[in-house]
Structure 1
Amino acid sequence: MTRLCANLSMLFTEQPFQQRFAAAANAGFTGVEYLFPYEFGSAEIKTQLDEHDLTQVLFNLPAGDWSKGERGIACHPDRVEEFKAGVDLAIEYAKVLGNTQVNCLAGISPTDTELARVHDTFVDNLQYASAKLEAAGIRLVMEMINTRDIPGFFLTTTAQALEIREQVGSSNLFLQYDIYHMQIMEGDLARTLENQLAVIKHVQLADNPGRHEPGTGEINYHFLFEHLNRIGYDGWIGCEYKPLTTTEAGLGWLASHKLI
């Protein structure tokens, strides 16, 4: 059964962050995700979740200075201690908010560092984070991102992620599969979702081109939703797209897919 959550960093952005929880619930969503909770107190976010009967599905580990273009620090050798502190902070928030899953963004590969060292740093950080999170009862996922939107991003394909997962050797490390990013980088969406079902624990969606809502581009979401149900995917699907106009105007796809 398909379970959708609203990404509050992308949807309902016409409203202040704290008001987006009510908007998501009113639109029929039962879960929410977003990039980061850290600008707000965990208690005030928990109040919004409880008031609107929403499940906190996922957020990212701290990822550096987002406003300055940083997109993760997990592959940066000179920021290992900052990464470790971020893991502790994420655990504090997750324990209050109730989510049992967080995502690690590898980051943009530093150009002044040998690629092998960047790779090893990422592996080491994932080993640390997966163990620390497992002790707290929280699953770790990592996300592959396309290099068109984020040039130089370190983790870019399913094959690379699977290789890294094997090197990390943790039973608490899985994949976050963003359909939009992977359509750009590798295609073959349905086959990959089916073949890697055991390690894909979170899915996100947007159409391509444009990263707008389903139905605005080339991806056959009617087929993919049926496919995910058929193969037995039982996780959440995060709606991480940029509305073509406004969030409310673009929600018609939910009804057309008979999802809400």
Structure 2
Amino acid sequence: MTAALGLPGTVHGQGATAPAPRPPAATSARKFKLKYAPHFGMFENSAGKDLFDQLKFMADQGFTALEDNGMMGRTPELQAQLGEAMTRLGIQMGVFVIQTGGNNSDRFTTGKPENPAQFRKACEAAVEVARRCNAKWMTVVPGAFERKLPIGLQHGNVIDTLRAGVDVLEKANLVMVLEPLSDNPDQFLRTSDQTYMICRAVNSPACKILFDMYHMQRNEGHMIPHIDYAWSEIGYFQIGDNPGRKEPGTGEVNYRNIFKHAHEKMQADNRDFIFGMEHGNAFPGREGEQKLIDAYVAADTF
């Protein structure tokens, strides 16, 4: 997640105010095949620090989605203003992180009796945020292992806690996406097949997988087959090359092939996904931001 990485744009511009209403943005000449979603701060050198100017720049470059892990920490007024601006610019809101009291680090694995109620309350708050900014997906991380408990009991505790949240999200037609991580060995949720199993057990359209390709390359590799294995339970994708967690083309992952494969499966199954650009910039300044855009143009050429 961006907050954990310290990537730009998580809470930057909290105090930003909406500018005077603008006319609809001119249609960008560039049309990406997939919905790549930048985050605030990614194009700050080109667009400036104002969040609304950054949104306009993204739209002008052909991007049609945005993700903002820190959206839940912004003021309600700013959430609504950003939602209105995205609608005007033709940008779809991607994920934000459900804040459960500890930056989503509360351990669902422990089986504490208060966990389901606390998570349910966090989901209720997230519903209001989603309504303001027109979001559908929100990231959930179950936290760390509970080393004192057998692994099966930990899975059961996670499933019970998640079920308390889907009761809230289903009614609002929203989706939590569970993110397996590679940041450290204490993270409970680590692979796509483990997350698939949990989603099947929760058994709700409001609980799906966030397939972050950076983390999955590090934890399991064999990326295209794993996407196929978990396809029915994937709700959202994120991007980051490895090593380095930067834009496509800066590491070992053949993103052009992966994007082509996902695009073909999406067309065959009549499905649609956002692909969050949850990574840093490999190069500094405006020149680095243009190189990042060029990298997506190249990876999207298939």
TM-score, normalized by the shorter chain, greater than 0.5: yes
Q: Runs of 5+ in structure 2 lacking a partner?
A: 1-32
SS at match of 2:143: coil
Q: CA deviation at 1:141?
A: 1.7
Amino acid of the structure 1 residue aligned with 2:298: S
- Paired residues in the alignment total 253
* 2:228 matches 1:194: yes
Q: Runs of 5+ in structure 1 lacking a partner?
A: none
Q: Deviations over 1:200-233 (max 9, x none)?
A: 1101010000111110000001111111111125
* 2:206 matches 1:172: yes
CA contact (8 A) 1:139 1:173 kept: yes
Identity of aligned residues (%): 23
Structure 2 distance, partners of 1:118, 1:236, is 30
The aligned counterpart of 1:37 is 71
Q: Which has the higher helix share?
A: 2
Match for residue 106 of structure 1 among 139, 142, 146? 142
SS at match of 1:208: coil
Q: Normalising to structure 2: TM-score of the pair?
A: 0.75
Match for residue 293 of structure 2 among 251, 255, 259? 251
CA contact (8 A) 2:72 2:96 kept: no
CA contact (8 A) 1:18 1:45 kept: no
Q: Deviations over 1:123-175 (max 9, x none)?
A: 111111112100111122211111xx233111111221122223223243211
Q: CA deviation at 1:26?
A: 4.1
Match for residue 217 of structure 1 among 251, 254, 258? 251
CA contact (8 A) 2:212 2:239 kept: yes
Match for residue 151 of structure 1 among 185, 193, 203? 185
The aligned counterpart of 1:236 is 274
Q: Deviations over 1:172-198 (max 9, x none)?
A: 321110111111111111112123222
Q: Deviations over 1:22-59 (max 9, x none)?
A: 44334432211122312212331331343352221221
The aligned counterpart of 1:58 is 95
SS at match of 1:121: helix
SS at match of 1:162: helix
Q: Normalising to structure 1: TM-score of the pair?
A: 0.86
Q: CA deviation at 1:17?
A: 7.4
